[in-house]
Amino acid sequence: MSGKRTRSPPPKDRLASAGQRLLQVLAILGLIGIFAVLLHKGYSDVTAIARGSASGEFWPALLRYMFRNLAGG
């Protein structure tokens, strides 16, 4: 083995790599936003079902709501 160290090649274009990094950050922030909207919608739906049903009818009402909305209706 030789004592010569090999370096990784430098980036082709620093501006292009910075642009790619910016797009990755924006994509991650967009995914976080989508998940936040989904969680908020789910929480509000479950809360509305809990308020509208008696204590013993909550789980059947939640299951009816979920299976009724599987097709997007």
Query: What would the DSSP string read from start to end of 2-54?
Result: -S---PPPPPS-HHHHHHHHHHHHHHHHHHHHHHHHHHHHHHHHHHHHHHHS-
Could you report the per-residue pLDDT of 13-62, keeping only the tens digit for each? 776 788 899 999 999 999 999 999 999 999 999 999 999 988 789 999 98
Residue with tokens 């009818």: 57
| 27's tokens | 């994509």
Instruction: State the pLDDT confidence band at 66, using cuts at 50, 70 and 90.
Output: confident
The predicted structure's pLDDT at residue 33? 97
The yes-or-no verdict on residue 7 having pLDDT over 80 is no
The predicted structure's pLDDT at residue 35? 97
Selection from 49, 44, 51 nearest residue 62 by Cα: 49
Considering the entire predicted model, what is its pTM? 0.61
